[in-house]
């Protein structure tokens, strides 16, 4: 069964293997999540599974959001996520999903928002090389020419220029699970995941 859950990034650490080599790891607090909706049609071979994460006071939601949970007779959640599943026959609305379906050694995909770097220049954003710093050069960090003149007489879309950097959805696939703590809902995975501490992340396993 495909598993999709929401959680938070706790932080990074390192552990040592039997050979004494340091392995960078990330701690994730995953779930528990509740299935809030299952949408299926006879024309498709999959269903859309909506999950909720982190309880919230109904007074902090608008009438449409609170009514969605009230109609299902479920508590209100701060975060909702929907994903597709081809094996939903054993799932029910209100069912709680936790990390007990994951095992050490499994590989998961993690998605989240990367850290925002603000408005950045060419060198930082696209790793452009700078101009000479001596001999009277006045082109140190300037972009230089960005296109031809009369023809085509414009700059093509997608040109690598200065702009906002980071704060985009990033997905990393096949991260290995090294340890699982069912009491605290924390899993330890090898490598890094996008975002900073406390960011909401989404994990998915096929």
Neighbours of 204 (CB within 10 A): 16
Q: Check whether 8 has a pLDDT greater than 80.
A: yes
pLDDT band at 3 (very low <50, low <70, confident <90, very high): confident
Closest CA to 69 of 94, 105, 99, 101: 94
Structural contact between residues 30 and 203, judged by C-beta atoms closer than 8 angstroms: yes
Where do the domains of the chain lie?
3-117+170-205, 118-165
Tell me the pLDDT tens digit for each residue of 110-153: 999 999 999 999 999 999 999 899 989 888 988 888 888 888 88
CATH number assigned to the domain with residue range 3-117+170-205, chosen from the 4 options 3.40.920.10, 2.60.120.10, 2.40.30.10, 1.20.120.420? 2.40.30.10
């Amino acid at each position: 069964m495909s598993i999709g859950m929401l959680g938070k990034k706790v932080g990074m650490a390192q552990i040592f293997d039997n050979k004494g080599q340091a392995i960078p790891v990330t701690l994730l607090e995953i779930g528990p999540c509740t299935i809030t909706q299952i949408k299926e049609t006879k024309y498709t071979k999959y269903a859309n599974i909506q999950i909720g994460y982190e309880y919230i006071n109904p007074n902090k939601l608008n009438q449409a959001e609170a009514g969605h949970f009230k109609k299902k007779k479920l508590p209100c959640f701060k975060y909702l996520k929907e994903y597709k599943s081809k094996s939903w026959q054993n799932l029910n609305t209100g069912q709680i999903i936790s990390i007990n379906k994951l095992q050490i050694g499994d590989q998961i995909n993690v998605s989240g928002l990367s850290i925002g770097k603000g408005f950045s220049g060419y060198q930082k954003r696209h790793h452009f090389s700078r101009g000479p710093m001596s001999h009277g050069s006045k082109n140190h960090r300037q972009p230089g020419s960005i296109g031809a003149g009369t023809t085509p007489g414009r700059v093509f879309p997608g040109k690598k220029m200065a702009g906002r950097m980071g704060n985009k959805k990033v997905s990393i696939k096949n991260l290995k699970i090294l340890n699982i703590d069912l009491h605290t809902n924390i899993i330890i995975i090898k490598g890094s995941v996008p975002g900073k501490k406390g960011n909401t992340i989404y994990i998915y396993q096929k």
